Structure 1
Amino acid sequence: MDVQIDITQNIKDQFDRYFNLTKTKTGFRPNPAIIDGEMEYVEFPGELEFYYFHQSQFRVPVNMKSVNPPDTNWFLIHINLSKVKQEKKVGDETIEFLRYSPIGILLYGPDLEIITPIPPNVDSELASIHFSDTFLKSYFEDWESIIDRDKSLVYEDLDPVLESKLSIALSAMNNKIKCHGLLLDFMQHFFDKLRSHQKGVNPGKLHPEDLRRIFQISTKLRNPTTPQIPTLTELANTANMGKSKFKASFKQVFGLPPIEYHNRVRMEYARIEIQNKGKSPTEVSYILGYSHPSNFTKAYKKYFGVLPSESN
């Protein structure tokens, strides 16, 4: 079954055309011959829509194409919450988004055409946030410095803070006022993360094969405790790119050059282990492979501006 979603239009109305939604007490139920599951949907003032697709299974194979024109005023945040890998097609190339504690957030921007093949009888769970520049202008005065319209696809980690905020917002979808505030809190934190994305030379619209390789290679950098990551030269060679192009292309999607991105993964992991899991800085330093705790302390302070013992 081929489904095409126009990101400039109301998503629920398009789903209704394809999946024949029926109103329930808590949301909407699609045609069970197509999808065994339920969808919740809340529309807020200012052109902001919030979707939650509960754990469900498609009964037929679906190719879902999402399209956003170059002159769009609309954006979509896509978050895969299932425990299985998710594939997407850009052009004729297939990209696997591998889950690695946790899965990330994809921001769909202008000039996008991306296909998600959904196999039948496989558990699926996701959340989506659909919003326009009307929403952005209402809440974020500097939104044009946060969202780069030259990028059709941007990745950001769904860190434990974002994951918690999203979970709380999803649990409040039956209370529109409360849910609105919680979703805005999630969006604020998400945009704060986007602010950390570095600007730089934009290599232009990425070829699907380049994008596929970048996402595959990113899995080598997203494990904070890996003893040794490949060098920039090795990563570029794996991607079949020159170092400059690979570094710029990776930065275009992930917001940081590859080695800096891996360092952020390590430092954020360290903060979580110290703050939430009660590990000592010394324990974390050895988990991360530092030869001496003092080296970890210096690296942590350089990154966060405070000592590990001062984290709260």
Structure 2
Amino acid sequence: METVTIDISRALREQFIDHFAGVATEEGFLLHNHLVTGTLQDLSFGGKATVLSFKYGIEQAFIFSSVNPVNSESILLNVNLSASEMAKEINGETVVSSVRNDSAMVYYPENTKVRHRLNRGERGENIIIQLHADFLKTFFSEHEIARYLRASSYYSLWLSVHQEQLIRQLFIVENKLQSFTKLSAFLETFFKALDKRIDGLAALKVSDDDVARIRISLETHAANGKLFTVKVSELAKAAGMSTTKFNHAFRLLYDRSPKQFLMKVKMDLALEKLKNGTDSIANLSYEIGYADPTKFTRAFKKYFGYAPNKIKNQKGK
């Protein structure tokens, strides 16, 4: 299978244009070759900060690989604005990213290798932000910049509604100064969240191995189809932690408690299956861990603001 590789330490726009046969238009670039059909827009600030809007449809399956080398003096932030999930392998660890989940924003420091397969027919939208150390000097001290560049791990974070609004406005404002203002506001919220994550995990004495075990615990239960019925204590045990430490570390990693995370997983699946009409409400409630369909209906209504039979009724019309 063909592999496309992006070097994060080099100019991104030119690499996308070369790989996907970009042709200049008034609004950016039209991408069209045997692999991808889509569009690319870009903003550059002094050559030290670049923002790309990459909207694509996959014509032929291929491996998309990106590398941020040691001493690149650059970091990259990938924001997945697609509702569909995308599985990536980051330094050998699988991360599932979607605008609706905890990994909508993925931060790549130096010495990061990313690899994922894009399948024919997939469509998506990503905002890619490349920041050089010289750009970061506008906002941070040398010590802070070194901390961001040489972080021991990648980090994945939730994308808030406010952050999503800022990121979507980058390419629709009237001029570049307004775009810079939006980007600065977005980066301020991002780095605050990143600092909280790094400092919080350090204060809790949560190691990189602990973080990996938490993620592996979730992925293992998900692969076994048990993520809808598992208890938090069971996840903690699988991660080799006390329930208290697991709860604290989990909240720092995912910006919500394990219970809130598991509720989101359940309700997202329930909503998807109801829209597809693949299950009765009773069968669906049992599938996601509710012994009583009435309790599922009550939980669903509390979460979404309407009862599940509203979707069923709409499907029947």
TM-score range, shorter chain: 0.5 to 0.7
> Which digits, 9 at most, give the CA deviation of each residue in 1:52-95, with x for residues without a partner?
013x2011112111111233311110011111110112466644
Q: Tell me how far 1:112 sits from its aligned partner.
A: 1.0
- Check the 8 A contact 1:42/1:50 in 2, yes or no: yes
Worse-superposed segment, 104-113 or 82-91: 82-91
> Which digits, 9 at most, give the CA deviation of each residue in 1:192-227, with x for residues without a partner?
2223221414634799x85862663899xxxxxx99
Cα distance in 2 for residues equivalent to 1:2 and 1:203: 33
Q: Out of 254, 257, 262, which is 1:262 matched to?
A: 257
Any stretches of 5+ residues in structure 2 without a counterpart? 265-300, 304-317
Cα distance in 2 for residues equivalent to 1:61 and 1:171: 31
Distance 1:20 1:32, change over 3 A: closer
Q: Secondary structure at the match of 1:171?
A: coil
Distance 1:243 1:107, change over 3 A: same
- When the two structures are aligned, how many residues end up with a matched partner? 254
The TM-score, its normalising length taken from structure 1, stands at: 0.68
Q: Secondary structure at the match of 2:257?
A: helix
> Which digits, 9 at most, give the CA deviation of each residue in 1:95-137, with x for residues without a partner?
4335536762100112211102111111111111001111111
- Check the 8 A contact 2:36/2:58 in 1, yes or no: yes
Cα distance in 1 for residues equivalent to 2:147 and 2:164: 20
The TM-score, its normalising length taken from structure 2, stands at: 0.67
Please state if 1:82 is matched with 2:82: yes
- Check the 8 A contact 2:99/2:159 in 1, yes or no: no
Residue 63 of structure 2 corresponds to 63
Please state if 1:243 is matched with 2:241: yes
Q: Secondary structure at the match of 1:53?
A: strand
Please state if 1:192 is matched with 2:187: no
Q: Which amino acid counterpart does residue 24 of structure 1 have in structure 2?
A: T
Q: Which has the higher helix share?
A: 2
Please state if 1:169 is matched with 2:170: yes
Distance 1:190 1:81, change over 3 A: same
Distance 1:194 1:204, change over 3 A: closer
Residue 10 of structure 2 corresponds to 9
Residue 290 of structure 2 corresponds to none
Q: Which amino acid counterpart does residue 159 of structure 2 have in structure 1?
A: L
* Equivalent runs, 1:129-148 vs 2, <5 Å: 129-141=129-141, 143-144=144-145, 147=148
Q: Which amino acid counterpart does residue 196 of structure 1 have in structure 2?
A: K
Cα distance in 2 for residues equivalent to 1:261 and 1:214: 17
